[in-house]
Amino acid sequence: MDRIGFIGLGNMGRPMASNLAGKGFPLVVFDVNPAPLAQLGHLGARAASSCASLAADSDVVITMLPNSAAVDAVLLGADGVLARLPAGGIIMDMSTIDPVLTDRVAAAAAGKGIAFVDAPVGRLASHAERGESLFMVGASAEAFARVRPLLKAMGTTIHHCGAPGTGIRTKLVNNYLAIVSCAFNAEALALSQRFGLSLEKTLDVVHGTTATNGQLKIAWAAKVLTGDTEPGFTIDLAHKDLTLIVDAANAIKVPMPIGAAARESFSAARTQGQGTKDFSAMVDVLCDFAHITRPRLP
């Protein structure tokens, strides 16, 4: 059985690593925060002293990190994972990052005889806790077969999207639709409340036409419209992902005027100190700004 290293034990990484440990995979873990290291230790995982030492003792290294800069440093740094992982190993990055960096890491790994897999995660931390994550995977057929048991231990839905680099690009397309729909749903519901319409009847109508969407019908009904804005996916993360999306699109000459406008809506929410709230709270931010009563279902 491959020796598994896991770097990055935040809101998503910790429950995913916990599922691996709980299902018997030999696991060594590292994070700059000691608290999740202790939690994983209770599940039988061994804490490494650094990313380099973890890589030297692993056959497969999984990373779940907050941004492109962290992935660059951990994987490509002078004493990073690629400098220490033996040839024949696999790096599986599950972070949401700039796809150009994904390509650069994949090329550097190939040059050292190491396979690279990009497998960003769909769904929320609550799904990760239950082992119900969705993965969008970019990998060769051989590498995909090797990491598939790990993905099955952490999630329920696995999409092999193609070669390395296709996983992260699929994630950006998916998140673009989810995040931008959040922005226009906020405007639509704010308008409905300014009109003095019944929220329940408005939603009945919308959900019976092609205007309906999953954010409004499923996510919002369980979050902001019940008054719950505790973060599943934060406004800060939505802004970060929209920045990645717009920048990646601009780099390949795809105009994103709606995406750029939506990003500025999220940027405005962050200036109001709302960045740590669930991204469905965008409707509250807009309503507060326009002095409209926040929409709530009974």
Q: Are residues 196 and 117 in the same domain?
A: no
Could you read off the pLDDT of 50-60 as tens digits, one per residue? 999 999 999 99
Q: Which of 164, 194, 209 is the last residue of a domain?
A: 164
Could you read off the pLDDT of 237-262 as tens digits, one per residue? 999 999 999 999 999 999 999 999 99
Could you read off the pLDDT of 97-129 as tens digits, one per residue? 999 999 999 999 999 999 999 999 999 999 999
For 50-66, give one letter per residue: b (16+ CB within 10 A) or e.
Answer: ebbebbbbbbbbbbbbb
Report the C-alpha gap between 92 and 70 in whole angstroms.
Answer: 15
Q: Are residues 39 and 122 in the same domain?
A: yes
Q: Are residues 201 and 265 in the same domain?
A: yes
Nearest CA to 120 out of 244, 296, 209 is that of 244
Average pLDDT over residues 279-288: 98
- Quote the distance between the C-alpha of residue 183 and its chain's center: 18
In a domain, 273, yes or no: yes
Q: Are residues 186 and 145 in the same domain?
A: no
Q: Which of 137, 164, 191 is the last residue of a domain?
A: 164
SS3 content of the chain, % helix, strand, coil (to 5): 55, 15, 35
In a domain, 260, yes or no: yes
Neighbouring residues of 21: CB distance < 8 A, sequence distance ≥ 6: 27, 40, 43, 44, 45
Per-residue confidence band for 1, with pLDDT thresholds at 50, 70 and 90: confident
Report the C-alpha gap between 295 and 293 in whole angstroms.
Answer: 6
Could you read off the pLDDT of 9-35 as tens digits, one per residue? 999 999 999 999 999 999 999 999 999
In a domain, 294, yes or no: no
Neighbouring residues of 196: CB distance < 8 A, sequence distance ≥ 6: none
- Around Cβ 205, how many Cβ atoms within 10 Å? 13
Say how many domains are in the chain: 2
Q: Are residues 139 and 113 in the same domain?
A: yes
- 215: CATH: 1.10.1040.10
- What are the angstrom distances between the C-alpha of 30 and each of 155, 201, 273? 21, 50, 31
Q: Are residues 158 and 183 in the same domain?
A: no
pLDDT of res. 103? 98
Q: At what angle are helices 13-22 and 141-154 packed, to 10 degrees? A: 90
* DSSP helix/strand/coil, 192: helix
Report strand pairing: 60-63 vs 90-93: parallel
Q: Are residues 123 and 176 in the same domain?
A: no
In a domain, 274, yes or no: yes
Indicate the average pLDDT of the chain. 97
Q: Are residues 25 and 133 in the same domain?
A: yes
Q: Are residues 153 and 177 in the same domain?
A: no
Nearest CA to 203 out of 233, 289, 194, 218 is that of 218
- 19: CATH: 3.40.50.720
Is 171 labeled as catalytic in the residue annotation?
Answer: yes
In a domain, 122, yes or no: yes
In a domain, 281, yes or no: yes
Neighbouring residues of 232: CB distance < 8 A, sequence distance ≥ 6: 124, 125, 126, 219, 223, 278
Report the C-alpha gap between 81 and 95 in whole angstroms.
Answer: 15
Q: Are residues 266 and 144 in the same domain?
A: no
In a domain, 296, yes or no: no
Q: Are residues 12 and 133 in the same domain?
A: yes
* DSSP helix/strand/coil, 23: coil
Any alpha helices (H) in 112-165, and if so which ranges? 125-129, 141-154
Report the C-alpha gap between 266 and 199 in whole angstroms.
Answer: 23
Average pLDDT over residues 62-67: 97
Query: Which candidate in 112, 171, 240, 277 is catalytic?
Result: 171
Q: Are residues 200 and 217 in the same domain?
A: yes
Q: Which of 164, 194, 223 is the last residue of a domain?
A: 164
Paired with 285 in beta bridges are none
- Side chain identity, residue 77: G
- What are the angstrom distances between the C-alpha of 279 and each of 95, 181, 215, 267, 287? 19, 11, 10, 12, 14
Give the domain range for residue 268.
Answer: 169-289
In a domain, 295, yes or no: no
